[in-house]
């Protein structure tokens, strides 16, 4: 508990988490407002439509998570941390827990705020959360962001430099996975199992939250059920975090 | 008490610290002296468990750093003053450190007061001057009221007032019975601050002794002699085994005390115009002792030799 409080003080006594949270909210809120206000019979406002921008906000949260650890390396406070808490595994696990928690909170706000906004903009549209799929599409953004933040933090521990780690995280998340599909034959099969594609499956499922609308964001090609998809991505995040902690323990701080 | 036994650190094929053994006693300020690149900071990082030794062990009060419970309460350290997040306030920086070792939040205000930063406690540390950052670092070191204090080059870049403050401060900490271990590359600074010295060069131990002993050994005392009757004095000096060098206006005598030279002059009825002991500068002495072990020494000399003659003439 002590270590969680330490990491909470560290994270919240700098400005970057607040700026990142604000950016994430503006991006998702603004984009959703645009999408929903332009909706019509052909492109209806659906629960799914209120969350089109979630990956946008998730990218910002991953930047926040990466920075939370790379700035510690940049400014040398990681050494002060290891000096105060020589058990590096405990210190870094506590950091991961705090970052995941903060990402969860921002993720939930980032999902419910645009959804609320959409119900104000289009009061007569069917935006009620009637099914499990509807609920996961909105409330699931929080856990998805929490796990993505752990992945980003693990990369931050391994790479240590802000620019390098952020580029790696964002390029992989936004471009690399989709590029794999262009490999003839095996590309699509590999893509099915790539972590962020699987995470997208958890959030959007088979598209039930789009109310059968033909227009919308592309769905995940993963064959897992939403809950298995979440478990798969969680396992990926935990393994990556474990690798980064083992590395940090062996390395000179 | 700090004890290093055969401490070794290798980076690739370079030995930064080479089989280093020494002890640091409590109740004294012990200087850790060596030229830049001698391995002082690496040694201190190994003391704090930040770098893993390639070989050997360093213990604090008989325990390795990683075995200490709430280590900030046993060992306080200032390795780099700028190891602070620039957007975090001084108080927030000390608060998380205090929290991590279950130190009362009241202590944060106490140490801010001790180092004189109470007024800027809520200002962002990024705006601090070097002197203020150094004080914040010292506040962090004092936070757990530790028995052992490590400071790496604490006076680097400080103004004379700041240097004096830190010097007196370290001496007071030692008077309170604490172990104070402070590194520097300046012998003149250490001569004023430390009672004991651990001297290293190229990662190897050169000497461990009291500062007095080291300075006495380092500064080979010579006596300058001026006299109109040097032709009579010189043979007398040679007979007692003195090393005599002729200078422009007299002799430089080593190996014989000034009093003895005066007596010899009296016996030989030599008039003396000057009989002055020459204290060699501490820095010169330090360079002589660590001369072979200065990291970049050889490179600099080669560079100088390679310079075109015309350019060398200008710089000389």
Cross-chain residue pair A84–B82, CB shorter than 8 Å: no
> Tens digit of pLDDT for each residue in B274-286?
888 776 666 666 7
Q: Which residues of chain A have a CB within 8 Å of the CB of B71?
A: 83-84, 86
Tokens (6 digits) for A170 = 């964002």
Q: Is A14 on the interface with B (CB under 8 A)?
A: yes
Q: What confidence score (pLDDT) does residue B291 get?
A: 65
Find chain B residues with C-beta within 8 A of A2's C-beta.
Answer: 99-100, 102
Asked whether the beta carbons of residue B51 and residue A10 sit closer than 8 angstroms, the reply is no
Helices assigned H by DSSP within chain A? 2-12, 16-37, 54-75, 77-84, 88-121, 132-139, 141-159, 162-171, 177-180, 186-191, 195-204, 226-250
Span between the terminal Cα atoms of chain A, in Å: 24
CB-based contact A40:A130 (threshold 8 Å): no
B85 touches chain A (CB under 8 A): yes
Greater confidence (B41 vs B159) lies with B41
Annotate A68-129 with DSSP letters as a single string: HHHHHHHHSHHHHHHHH---HHHHHHHHHHHHHHHHHHHHHHHHHHHHHHHHHHSTTS----
User: What is the dihedral sign for C-alpha B180, B186, B187, B188?
Assistant: negative
CATH 3.30.479.30 fits B220-278, yes or no: no
Q: Which of B10, B63, B96 should be substituted to probe chain A, the one whose Cβ sees the most A Cβ atoms within 10 Å?
A: B96
* The pLDDT of residue B308: 44
Report residue B103's pLDDT band, with 50, 70 and 90 as the boundaries.
very high
pLDDT of residue B36: 86
User: What percentage of residues in chain B have a pLDDT greater than 70?
Assistant: 88
Mean residue pLDDT across chain A: 93
Rounded CA-CA distance A72/A157 in Å is 10
Q: How far, in Å, CA of A62 to CA of A167, rounded?
A: 11
CB B152 within 8 A of CB B78: yes
Pairwise pLDDT comparison (B294 vs B245), residue with the higher score: B245
CATH class of B2-217: alpha beta
pLDDT tens, residue by residue, A95-106 = 999 999 999 999
Are A82 and B50 inside 8 Å of each other by CB? yes
Q: Please judge whether A83 and B102 are an interchain contact, meaning their C-beta atoms are less than 8 angstroms apart.
A: no
Neighbours of B12 (CB within 10 A): 6
Q: Are B285 and B188 in contact (CB under 8 A)?
A: no
Question: Is B307's pLDDT higher than 60?
Answer: no
Question: Which residue intervals of chain B bear CATH 3.40.50.300?
Answer: 2-217
In sequence order, the β-bridge partners of residue A30 are none
| Predicted pLDDT at A108 | 97
Q: Residue B304 above 50 pLDDT?
A: no
Nearest C-alpha neighbor of A57 from the set A26, A24, A30: A24
Cα gap B277→B253, rounded to integer Å: 9
To the nearest whole Å, the CA of B200 is away from the closest chain A CA by: 22
In this predicted structure, the answer to whether residue B311 has a pLDDT above a threshold of 60 is no
Give the pTM.
Answer: 0.84
Q: Where in chain B is the domain with CATH 3.30.70.980?
A: 220-278
| Closest partner CB to B96 (pick from A6, A252, A253) | A6
pLDDT at position B281 is 63
Q: pLDDT tens, A29-79?
A: 999 999 999 988 888 889 999 999 999 999 999 999 999 999 999 999 999
Nearest Cα of chain B lies from the Cα of A168 at a distance, in angstroms, of 24
Among chain A residues, the shortest Cα distance to B91 is held by A13
Q: Report CA torsion sign: A219, A222, A224, A229.
A: negative
3-state SS class at B21: strand
Select from B45, B66, B88 the Cβ nearest to the Cβ of A13. B88
Q: CA-nearest residue of chain A to B50?
A: A253
Q: With contact defined as beta carbons under 8 Å apart, do A237 and A143 qualify?
A: no
Which one of A74, A84, A247, A252 would you mutate to disrupt binding with B, by most B Cβ within 10 Å of its Cβ? A84
Closest Cβ opposite residue B99 in set A9, A75, A83: A9
* CA closest to A2 among chain B residues: B100
So what's the pLDDT on residue B276?
84
CA nearest to A1 within chain B: B100
Residue A4's CB: how many other CB atoms inside 10 A? 14
Residues of A in contact with B93 (CB under 8 A): 13
Q: Helix, strand, or coil here: B181?
A: strand
Find the range with the poorest average confidence among A168-182, B174-188, B235-249. Answer: B235-249
Q: ipTM for the complex?
A: 0.86
């Amino acid at each position: 508990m002590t270590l969680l409080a330490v990491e909470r003080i560290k994270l919240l006594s700098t400005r970057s988490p607040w700026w990142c949270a604000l950016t994430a909210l503006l991006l998702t809120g603004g984009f959703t407002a645009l999408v929903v206000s332009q909706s019509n019979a052909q492109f209806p406002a659906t629960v799914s439509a209120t969350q089109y921008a979630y990956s946008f906000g998730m990218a910002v949260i991953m930047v926040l998570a990466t920075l939370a650890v790379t700035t510690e390396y940049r400014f040398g406070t990681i050494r002060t941390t290891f000096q105060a808490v020589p058990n590096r595994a405990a210190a870094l696990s506590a950091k991961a827990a705090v970052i995941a928690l903060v990402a969860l909170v921002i993720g939930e706000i980032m999902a419910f705020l645009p959804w609320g906004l959409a119900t104000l903009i289009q009061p007569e549209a069917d935006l009620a959360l009637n099914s499990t799929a509807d609920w996961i599409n909105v409330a699931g953004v929080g856990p998805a962001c929490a796990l993505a933040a752990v992945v980003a933090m693990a990369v931050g521990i391994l790479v240590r430099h802000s620019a390098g780690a952020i580029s790696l995280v964002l390029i992989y998340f936004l471009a690399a996975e989709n590029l794999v599909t262009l490999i003839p034959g095996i590309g699509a099969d590999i893509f099915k199992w790539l972590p962020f594609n699987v995470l997208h499956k958890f959030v959007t499922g088979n598209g039930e939250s789009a109310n059968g609308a033909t227009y919308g964001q592309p769905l995940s090609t993963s064959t897992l059920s939403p809950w298995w998809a979440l478990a798969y991505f969680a396992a990926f995040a935990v393994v990556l975090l474990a690798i980064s902690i083992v590395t940090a323990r062996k390395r000179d701080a | 008490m700090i004890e290093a036994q055969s401490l070794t650190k290798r980076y690739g094929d370079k030995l930064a610290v080479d089989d280093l053994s020494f002890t640091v006693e409590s109740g004294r300020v012990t200087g850790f002296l060596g030229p830049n690149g001698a391995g002082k900071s690496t040694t201190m990082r190994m003391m704090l468990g930040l770098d893993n030794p390639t070989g050997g062990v360093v213990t604090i009060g008989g325990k390795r750093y990683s075995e200490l419970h709430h280590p900030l309460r046993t060992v306080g350290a200032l390795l780099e003053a700028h190891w602070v997040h620039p957007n975090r306030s001084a108080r927030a920086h000390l608060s998380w450190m205090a929290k991590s070792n279950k130190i009362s939040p009241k202590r944060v205000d106490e140490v801010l007061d001790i180092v004189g930063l109470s007024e800027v406690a809520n200002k962002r540390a990024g705006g601090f001057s070097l002197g203020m950052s150094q004080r914040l670092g010292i506040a962090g070191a004092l936070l757990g009221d530790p028995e052992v204090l490590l400071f790496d080059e604490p006076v680097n870049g400080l103004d004379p007032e700041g240097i004096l403050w830190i010097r007196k401060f370290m001496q007071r900490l030692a008077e309170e019975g604490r172990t104070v271990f402070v590194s520097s590359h300046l012998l003149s600074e250490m001569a004023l601050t430390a009672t004991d010295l651990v001297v290293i060069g190229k990662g190897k131990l050169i000497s461990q002794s009291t500062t007095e002993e080291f300075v006495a050994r380092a500064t080979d005392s010579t006596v300058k002699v001026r006299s109109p009757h040097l032709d009579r004095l010189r043979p007398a000096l040679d007979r007692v085994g003195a090393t005599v060098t002729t200078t422009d206006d007299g002799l430089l005598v080593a190996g014989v005390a000034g009093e003895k030279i005066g007596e010899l002059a009296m016996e030989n009825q030599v008039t003396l115009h000057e009989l002055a002991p020459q204290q060699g500068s501490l820095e010169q002495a330090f360079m002589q002792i660590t001369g072979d072990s200065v990291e970049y020494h050889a490179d600099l000399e080669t560079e100088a030799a390679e310079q075109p003659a015309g350019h060398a003439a200008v710089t000389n």
